[in-house]
Structure 1
Amino acid sequence: MYKNRRAFLKNMGLGVAGTLAIPAQSWSKSKTPLETAIHELKEFPNPNSEQYWEIVASQFQFAKGVKYFNNASLGACPFPIRKATNTFRDTLDDFPSKYMWGGWDEEKEATRKKVAAVFSVSEEEIALIHNTTEGMNLIAQSIALSPGDEVILADHEHASAVVPWTVWQESKGVKLIRPTLPILPQSKEEIVAIFKAAITRNTKVISVCHMVNTNGMLLPIKEISKIAHEKGILVAVDGAQGAGMVATNLGEMDCDFYTVSAHKWLFAPKGIGIFYAKKNQQELLKPLIVARGYKDPSIRRLENYNTRNLPELLGLGAAIDYRNTIGGTTIHRRTYALKHYFLKAIKNNDTIVPKTPSSDDLSAGIQVVEIKGKEVKEVKEQLFKDFGIDSRPMTKFGLNAVRLSFAIFITKKDIDNLVAALNTIANT
């Protein structure tokens, strides 16, 4: 049994901010509370213990009665990261000019290195931006394309990926090719074949989701990158739904660009994002906003906004510290454990129909299910009204299904309650 849970929670609340050396805090000069919290976590050497995950879940605070299965829409920020970010805000307002311009340079670079380590790339390939939408705009407005050139965007791409290509490129005569993906593909090869068939001699870019937001389908980025690069085609990835949920080694995936909203599966503050660009492709990119320092040859020129919300940026570093106390591999395994637990629980119920591919190669912590004979908006409303479960109704592509997110704060007990709620709705 965990003997001092209240002390543990207090330590975790303070610990993450302490790792980034906030000058105004005297406690940062001593051994960081995060180190103490890591020691406490080691009382649970087996992360398969459900009690371990109940402790993790207790770090996330929601409104009374809310069971949050909607992390794919807007991520939740754990209490320790809220506390860390607010401490950074206080420090900035205590001495604004110092910390906005220079006082946190080392901490900013430390955050960049932490992010790079998560994705197994160099910190010189990481820009710290605002969100996925900004990243997709960076790519779409930068690439020099000509009338008749083609960009492949599958039909499940998010609007934040499609609109930038439409505005920046289609308007000047570039063609957007929109192949259709199956809702329930049987293999990675089936998806790769669709992209391969869409390639022509005019294809210059494939813009693709790591994981689609519609039904949680995981796309084979490594294999898509391979067929693209064989023909000199660039690969740009919207990583909003994959990064942090599943292992994401960008070196192995070999895409040219990858962009993330860090609030989702990295549980960072809202308004901070990550942009990856291969070193040898960075010369293609032009900043969306230009200011002093625009000639910087490094990737930092893409994040040169002059004043910006640095507490959120440093909050991202704190979120990575928090994540690392659990471990990326552990989170990856937990994601799949929750998926399997959920699918097993609904396996013999013919009225609850999965609309997400079942293979672990093709899905992870987003699962979409339809209740036969029920209109999805009514299901979503009943889930929240009667059970406090927040989900996302999905109606595109004929889904008529609720999207459920299995983040690290979801326990097996939560899934038991979810399945019971779905059964109740199905039987009424």
Structure 2
Amino acid sequence: MTAKNRRTFLKRLGQGALGSMALPAFGNTLLESWKTEGLSNGDTNSEAYWELVKSQFNIAEGLSYFNNGSLGASSTKIQQETQGFRNLLDGFPSKYMWGGWADEKESVREKVADLFAVSSEEIALVHNTTESMNLIARSFDLQPGDEVILGNHEHASGTIPWKVWQESKGIKLVRPELPILPRSLAELTSIYEKAITPRTKVISMCHLVNTNGMLLPVKEVSKMAHENGVLVAVDGAQSAGMFTIDLKDLDCDFYAASSHKWLFSPKGVGVFYAKQESQQYLKPLMVARGYKDKSIRRLENYNTRNLPEVLGLGASIDFHNTIGAAVIHQRSFELKSYFRSKIENDKRFTLKSPASDSLSAAIQVVEVNGKEVKAVKQKLWDDYGIDCRPMSSHGLNALRLSFAIYITKKDIDYLVSALKEVAV
């Protein structure tokens, strides 16, 4: 290829890149809808606004999706932008896989860091929470007799790495039992405090447990743990994106999240936070060229990876910010409150998530009294098109219901009506 032809080719490629990204912004889409439907500047207190937000998601016809805690949906806009990146990559694979998107990748890192109020030098862009929990558990040179505290509501991906990488070496895994319906954050903090001994090295805990949506006191436990020389690792798979999170304020050492849940990113991309002064403890799960990098990027050194999904995470953060983190925070708790108000005084149901906003959020768990949960889940699906998660562990026998931002109060009314019919 001559120099002239090469310049022409690269110019056309650049035009293609711009063309593929010349999609209407989510914000513009909403503004156009506001004008058409007469909404006043996106009144977030109006259900019409949230119907608009819901319209940004292409949920299958006839499906009422209350299972975001298992896996979230990407909005149409996020899908479009991610597909644009895929098209670019396939148009010039070697350029975009190795270096062509270096600046764009760093931009995503900065967006994630801003969302969690930390430095971009404390954020690694990984695959999911499971990878991050493995990274943490495998990194430590613990000695036989050392202890790691894992509450009994931890997800399997938060416990199995410790069992495989540490318990097999003679490290003791301490499993304190947490109440299903704690009275206060102090009660939960006290349980962790009592579990600490002079041999405790790490506390690994969920931010919001997947079993019954209980919020755990990360900030309070971190303060107490650090006073005892103990590090704190947090599984944030169910919290990141559901409500506002300031990781500096929480003061944990490590925080892992799968952005494909409550941030609605493409599947198979996640976020890992490591406090600057705690990064010294971490070792990469994989090594390749560039392994001498001292920055947090050494933890994501995969060589070839699915970069369109990583850049799609940036689109999901843009989507989140267009609505507004504070607005999403408020809506999460509003939907929780609305749902509870519909059934909390009905003797046919038992709510098995704590009531206080300091102890639970947009995942609520409810038992249909006298009914086996898997049968209830199946009937909701067969007769009403409602998808949710049955929870049988910890004596729950209850449905786990997720109230993501594409859920409206009308959807909750439909859910409650179905629950009442099933409860007969």
Q: Which residue of 1 aligns with 2:63?
A: 66
Q: Does 2:357 align with 1:360? A: yes
In the alignment, is the contact (CA less than 8 A) between 2:215 and 2:359 conserved in 1? yes
Task: Tell me the C-alpha RMSD between the 2 structures.
Answer: 1.6
Q: 1:311 to 1:30 in 2, by over 3 A?
A: closer
Q: CA deviation at 1:174?
A: 0.4
Q: Which residue of 2 aligns with 1:103?
A: 100
Q: CA deviation at 1:38?
A: 6.1
Q: CA deviation at 1:76?
A: 1.1
In the alignment, is the contact (CA less than 8 A) between 2:21 and 2:84 conserved in 1? no
Q: CA deviation at 1:31?
A: 9.7
Q: Which residue of 1 aligns with 2:247?
A: 250
Q: Which residue of 2 aligns with 1:146?
A: 143
TM-score (norm 2): 0.93
Query: What letter is aligned with 1:297?
Result: K
Q: CA deviation at 1:30?
A: 7.3
Q: Which residue of 2 aligns with 1:191?
A: 188
Query: What letter is aligned with 2:109?
Result: R
In the alignment, is the contact (CA less than 8 A) between 2:390 and 2:400 conserved in 1? yes
5+ residue gaps, structure 1: 1-20
Instruction: After superposing the two structures, state which structure 1 stretch, 109-118 or 77-86, moved more.
Output: 77-86
Q: CA deviation at 1:32?
A: 6.2
Q: Sequence identity, in percent?
A: 62
Q: Does 2:116 align with 1:119? A: yes
- What is the distance in 2 between the residues matched to 1:60 and 1:68? 11
Q: Which residue of 2 aligns with 1:287?
A: 284
Q: Which residue of 2 aligns with 1:229?
A: 226
Q: 1:222 to 1:344 in 2, by over 3 A?
A: same
- What is the distance in 1 between the residues matched to 2:65 and 2:27? 29
- What is the distance in 1 between the residues matched to 2:27 and 2:324? 15
Query: What letter is aligned with 1:117?
Result: D
Alignment of 1:44-83 (within 5 A): 44-83=41-80
In the alignment, is the contact (CA less than 8 A) between 1:38 and 1:325 conserved in 2? no
Q: CA deviation at 1:178?
A: 0.1
Query: What letter is aligned with 1:37?
Result: T
- What is the distance in 1 between the residues matched to 2:253 and 2:269? 21
Count of residues paired in the alignment: 407
Q: 1:350 to 1:22 in 2, by over 3 A?
A: farther
- Equivalent position to 1:157, from 154, 157, 161: 154
Q: Which residue of 2 aligns with 1:12?
A: none
Q: Which residue of 1 aligns with 2:5?
A: none
Q: 1:212 to 1:31 in 2, by over 3 A?
A: closer
For 1:53-80, what per-residue CA distance to the aligned partner results, in whole angstroms no more than 9, with x for missing partners? 0000011112221110000011111111
Query: What letter is aligned with 2:299?
Result: L
Q: CA deviation at 1:144?
A: 1.7
**SS of equivalent to 2:290:** coil
In the alignment, is the contact (CA less than 8 A) between 1:75 and 1:265 conserved in 2? yes
In the alignment, is the contact (CA less than 8 A) between 1:210 and 1:241 conserved in 2? yes
Q: Which residue of 2 aligns with 1:259?
A: 256
Q: Does 2:390 align with 1:398? A: no
- What is the distance in 2 between the residues matched to 1:31 and 1:225? 43
Q: CA deviation at 1:371?
A: 0.5
**SS of equivalent to 1:24:** helix
In the alignment, is the contact (CA less than 8 A) between 2:158 and 2:235 conserved in 1? yes
Q: Which residue of 2 aligns with 1:337?
A: 334
5+ residue gaps, structure 2: 1-12, 35-39
Q: Which residue of 2 aligns with 1:84?
A: 81
- Equivalent position to 2:29, from 21, 33, 37: 37
- What is the distance in 2 between the residues matched to 1:282 and 1:329? 30
Q: 1:237 to 1:30 in 2, by over 3 A?
A: closer
**SS of equivalent to 2:56:** coil
- What is the distance in 2 between the residues matched to 1:340 and 1:34? 28
Q: Which residue of 2 aligns with 1:24?
A: 16
Q: CA deviation at 1:185?
A: 0.4
- What is the distance in 2 between the residues matched to 1:345 and 1:304? 49
- What is the distance in 2 between the residues matched to 1:57 and 1:370? 27
Q: 1:313 to 1:22 in 2, by over 3 A?
A: farther
TM-score (norm 1): 0.93
- What is the distance in 2 between the residues matched to 1:363 and 1:280? 30
